Structure 1
């Protein structure tokens, strides 16, 4: 399994709009081959810590196919509706391979 974590530092006064964008998202990624799920995590300390948006994929190749797809561009067009001042700084994308997962009955490499 392959996981991405996008850390997005949102100014508190834009938090509600940011979250609403995800609630109303196009859901195009949900139909992509290899997509498992998406989580949006609100930080406890919103003024200092970023939101974390996680996506779970069957493989890195599936994620890369998503990023290169027309659906990716269309799905992310909505995020551009927030002004620059909505964000404290640039987001940071991190990628991981899952080593263990307690939700899986039989762990895989």
Structure 2
């Protein structure tokens, strides 16, 4: 199993519009062979005071939204990226102003998990 993470820096003031895009998505990926699940994580930039163990918001740190998809295999993910459904799901591109910088795409293989027999 693999997890594909798209780390996206959303510009201040565009968070609601960005989140709405995922709430209103067409769910084409959900039907693709090998797809397991999708999650979108909202950033909460935090810092910890190591002496006291207290946590507080970190206004100086850029948070990244993370869009994660779980796949049975890397080949299943690649097939999704080459599909007509992928092109359709990504055709309505958001405005450049929505982003505070470039996204980062990461692929990880799950080799152990507390909730799966991997």
What's the TM-score, normalizing by structure 1?
0.90
Aligned: 1:101 with 2:113: yes
Gaps of 5+ in 1: none
Q: When the two structures are aligned, how many residues end up with a matched partner?
A: 104
Report what 2:69 is aligned to: 55
Query: Structure 1 stretches (4+) deviating beyond 4 angstroms?
Result: none
SS at match of 2:21: helix
1:28 to partner: Cα distance: 0.3
Q: 1:89 aligns with which of 74, 82, 101?
A: 101
State how 1:14-53 maps to structure 2 within 5 Å.
Answer: 14-45=14-45, 48-53=62-67
1:10 to partner: Cα distance: 0.2
What's the TM-score, normalizing by structure 2?
0.84
User: 1:68-92 CA distances to partner (integer Å, 9 max, x unpaired)?
Assistant: 00000101123x1x21111011101
User: 1:33-60 CA distances to partner (integer Å, 9 max, x unpaired)?
Assistant: 0000000000013861110000000000
1:12 to partner: Cα distance: 2.1
Larger radius of gyration: 2
Output the CA distance in 1 between the equivalents of 2:14 and 2:91. 17
Query: What RMSD, in angstroms, separates the aligned Cα atoms of the two structures?
Result: 1.3
